[in-house]
Structure 1
Amino acid sequence: MWRVKSLDAILATAEKKSLHRSLGPVQLTLLGVGAIIGTGIFVLTAAAAQKAGPGMMWSFVIAGAVCAVAALCYSELASMAPVSGSAYTYTYAVMGELLAWMVGWALILEYAVAASAVSVGWSGYVLGLIENALGFDWPDLLQAGPAWSMNGFIPTPDFSVGIVNVPAIVVALAVTLLLMIGTTESARVNAALVAIKVAALTAFIVLTLPILKTGNFTPFAPNGLFGESSGMGIIGAAASIFFAYVGFDAVSTAAEETKNPQRNVPIGLIGSLAICTVFYLLVAAGAVGAIGAQPVLGSAGEAVQPGSPGFIAACQLAENANRLVCSNEALAHVLREIDYPAVGNALGTAAMLALPSVILMMIYGQTRIFFVMARDGLLPEGLAKVHPKWKTPYVVTIFTGIAVAIAGALFPVGQLADISNSGTLFAFFMVSIAVLMLRVKDPNRRRPFRTPFVWIIAPLSAFGCAALFWNLPHDAKMVLPIWGGIGLVIYLLYGIRKSHVGRGLVEVPELDPDAPHGPVPPMPGAPSPTDDRRD
Structure 2
Amino acid sequence: MTATSTSGLGTNTKDGGLARNLGLVALVGLGLGYMTPTVIFDTFGTVSETTAGAVPSAYLAALVVMALTALSYGKLVMAFPSAGSAYTYVRETMHPNLGFMVGWSSLLDYLLLPMVNALIIKLYVEQMLPQVPSWLVVLVYAVCTTTLVAITMRGTSRVNLVLLVTAVVVMAAFVVIASYQLLQGEGAGTLVSGRAFAGPETTLPLVLTGATVVCFSFIGFDAVTMYAEEAKSPKIMPRAIMLTVLLGGAIFLVAAYVTQLRFPDNTPFGEFTDDPLPQIARIVGGPAFQAVLVGAAFMATVASGLASHASVSRMLLVMGRNGALPGKALRWVNPRTHTPVVNIIIVGAVCLLAVDLSLELVSAFINFGALVAFTFVNASVIAHFAIRRRELRTPREWIVNAVVPGIATLLTALLWTQLHSDALIAGGIWAAIGLTYLIVYTRGFRRPMASLEE
**Normalized against structure 1, the TM-score is what?**
0.76
Partner of 1:460: 407
Structure 1 position 289, deviation (Å) = 1.8
* Closer, same or farther: CA 501–258 of 1 in aligned 2, 3 Å: farther
Alpha-carbon distance between aligned partners in 1 of 2:271 and 2:295, rounded to the nearest angstrom: 21
**Do the aligned residues in 1 keep the contact of 2:150 with 2:341 (CA within 8 Å)?**
yes
Q: Which amino acid aligns with 1:187?
A: S
Alpha-carbon distance between aligned partners in 2 of 1:324 and 1:458, rounded to the nearest angstrom: 43
Partner of 1:441: 388
**Do the aligned residues in 2 keep the contact of 1:129 with 1:349 (CA within 8 Å)?**
no
* Closer, same or farther: CA 275–501 of 1 in aligned 2, 3 Å: same
Candidates 234, 255, 278, aligned match of 1:283: 255
What percentage of residue pairs aligned between the two structures are identical?
25
Q: What does 1:314-329 correspond to in 2, within 5 Å? A: 322-323=268-269, 326-327=272-273, 329=275
Partner of 1:187: 157
* Closer, same or farther: CA 470–503 of 1 in aligned 2, 3 Å: closer
| Residues 391-433 of structure 1 deviation map (CA, whole Å, 9 limit, x = unaligned) | 1111111112101222x11211111111101001001100000
The farther-off stretch of 63-72 and 335-344 is 335-344
Partner of 1:397: 344
Alpha-carbon distance between aligned partners in 1 of 2:270 and 2:234, rounded to the nearest angstrom: 42
| Residues 474-531 of structure 1 deviation map (CA, whole Å, 9 limit, x = unaligned) | 0111111210110112222236699997668536xxxxxxxxxxxxxxxxxxxxxxxx
Which of the pair is proportionally richer in helix?
A: 2
| Residues 406-465 of structure 1 deviation map (CA, whole Å, 9 limit, x = unaligned) | 2x1121111111110100100110000001111121357xxxxx9963422211211121
Residue 329 (structure 2) pairs with residue 359 (structure 1): no
* Closer, same or farther: CA 38–125 of 1 in aligned 2, 3 Å: farther
Structure 2 gaps, min length 5? 392-396
Alpha-carbon distance between aligned partners in 2 of 1:279 and 1:505, rounded to the nearest angstrom: 42
Structure 1 position 293, deviation (Å) = 2.5
Q: Which has the higher Rg, Structure 1 or Structure 2?
A: 1
Q: Which amino acid aligns with 1:248?
A: F
Structure 1 position 67, deviation (Å) = 0.6
Alpha-carbon distance between aligned partners in 1 of 2:165 and 2:104, rounded to the nearest angstrom: 33
Candidates 182, 197, 222, aligned match of 1:249: 222
Partner of 1:428: 374
Q: Which amino acid aligns with 1:8?
A: T
Alpha-carbon distance between aligned partners in 1 of 2:252 and 2:442, rounded to the nearest angstrom: 41
**Do the aligned residues in 1 keep the contact of 2:52 with 2:202 (CA within 8 Å)?**
no
**Do the aligned residues in 2 keep the contact of 1:116 with 1:404 (CA within 8 Å)?**
yes
Q: Which amino acid aligns with 1:482?
A: I
Q: What does 1:288-367 correspond to in 2, within 5 Å? A: 288-294=260-266, 322-323=268-269, 326-327=272-273, 329-367=275-313
Q: What secondary structure sits across from 2:117 in the alignment?
A: helix
Partner of 2:58: 59
**Do the aligned residues in 1 keep the contact of 2:57 with 2:197 (CA within 8 Å)?**
no
Q: Which amino acid aligns with 1:20?
A: A
Q: Which amino acid aligns with 1:27?
A: A
Structure 1 position 259, deviation (Å) = 0.8
Candidates 201, 221, 224, aligned match of 2:171: 201
* Closer, same or farther: CA 291–392 of 1 in aligned 2, 3 Å: same
**Do the aligned residues in 1 keep the contact of 2:322 with 2:451 (CA within 8 Å)?**
no
| Residues 217-263 of structure 1 deviation map (CA, whole Å, 9 limit, x = unaligned) | 48944654266xxxxx221111001111111111011111111112x
Q: Which amino acid aligns with 1:54?
A: G
Alpha-carbon distance between aligned partners in 2 of 1:223 and 1:6, rounded to the nearest angstrom: 52
Q: What secondary structure sits across from 2:222 in the alignment?
A: helix
Partner of 2:419: 472
Partner of 1:225: 203
Q: What secondary structure sits across from 1:256 in the alignment?
A: coil
Partner of 1:489: 436
Q: Which amino acid aligns with 2:178?
A: T
Q: What secondary structure sits across from 1:50 in the alignment?
A: helix
**Do the aligned residues in 2 keep the contact of 1:119 with 1:171 (CA within 8 Å)?**
yes
Structure 1 position 21, deviation (Å) = 0.8
| Residues 179-206 of structure 1 deviation map (CA, whole Å, 9 limit, x = unaligned) | 1112111011111111111111111111
Structure 1 position 215, deviation (Å) = 6.2
The farther-off stretch of 118-127 and 423-432 is 118-127
* Closer, same or farther: CA 486–21 of 1 in aligned 2, 3 Å: same
Partner of 1:114: 113
Structure 1 gaps, min length 5? 131-136, 144-164, 228-232, 295-319, 445-449, 508-535
Alpha-carbon distance between aligned partners in 2 of 1:411 and 1:326, rounded to the nearest angstrom: 16
* Closer, same or farther: CA 464–504 of 1 in aligned 2, 3 Å: closer
The farther-off stretch of 497-506 and 78-87 is 497-506
| Residues 363-414 of structure 1 deviation map (CA, whole Å, 9 limit, x = unaligned) | 22211111001111121222111113211111111112101222x1121111
Q: What secondary structure sits across from 1:23 in the alignment?
A: coil
**Do the aligned residues in 2 keep the contact of 1:106 with 1:423 (CA within 8 Å)?**
yes
Alpha-carbon distance between aligned partners in 1 of 2:359 and 2:137, rounded to the nearest angstrom: 13
**Do the aligned residues in 1 keep the contact of 2:188 with 2:264 (CA within 8 Å)?**
no
**Do the aligned residues in 2 keep the contact of 1:75 with 1:451 (CA within 8 Å)?**
no
RMSD: 2.7
Alpha-carbon distance between aligned partners in 2 of 1:504 and 1:497, rounded to the nearest angstrom: 18
* Closer, same or farther: CA 173–106 of 1 in aligned 2, 3 Å: farther
Structure 1 position 91, deviation (Å) = 0.6
Partner of 1:72: 71
Alpha-carbon distance between aligned partners in 1 of 2:136 and 2:72, rounded to the nearest angstrom: 39
Alpha-carbon distance between aligned partners in 2 of 1:344 and 1:194, rounded to the nearest angstrom: 18
Alpha-carbon distance between aligned partners in 2 of 1:49 and 1:266, rounded to the nearest angstrom: 33
**Do the aligned residues in 2 keep the contact of 1:179 with 1:360 (CA within 8 Å)?**
yes
Q: Which amino acid aligns with 2:119?
A: V
Structure 1 position 103, deviation (Å) = 1.0
Q: What secondary structure sits across from 2:54 in the alignment?
A: helix
**Do the aligned residues in 2 keep the contact of 1:39 with 1:118 (CA within 8 Å)?**
no
Alpha-carbon distance between aligned partners in 2 of 1:404 and 1:420, rounded to the nearest angstrom: 14
Residue 229 (structure 2) pairs with residue 237 (structure 1): no
Alpha-carbon distance between aligned partners in 1 of 2:310 and 2:434, rounded to the nearest angstrom: 21
Partner of 1:138: 131
Alpha-carbon distance between aligned partners in 2 of 1:219 and 1:247, rounded to the nearest angstrom: 25
Structure 1 position 280, deviation (Å) = 1.0
The farther-off stretch of 416-425 and 277-286 is 277-286
* Closer, same or farther: CA 247–506 of 1 in aligned 2, 3 Å: same
**Do the aligned residues in 2 keep the contact of 1:243 with 1:421 (CA within 8 Å)?**
yes
Alpha-carbon distance between aligned partners in 2 of 1:504 and 1:498, rounded to the nearest angstrom: 15
Residue 251 (structure 2) pairs with residue 258 (structure 1): no
| Residues 17-55 of structure 1 deviation map (CA, whole Å, 9 limit, x = unaligned) | 741111011111111111123463131122111211321
Partner of 1:210: 180
Structure 1 position 329, deviation (Å) = 4.6
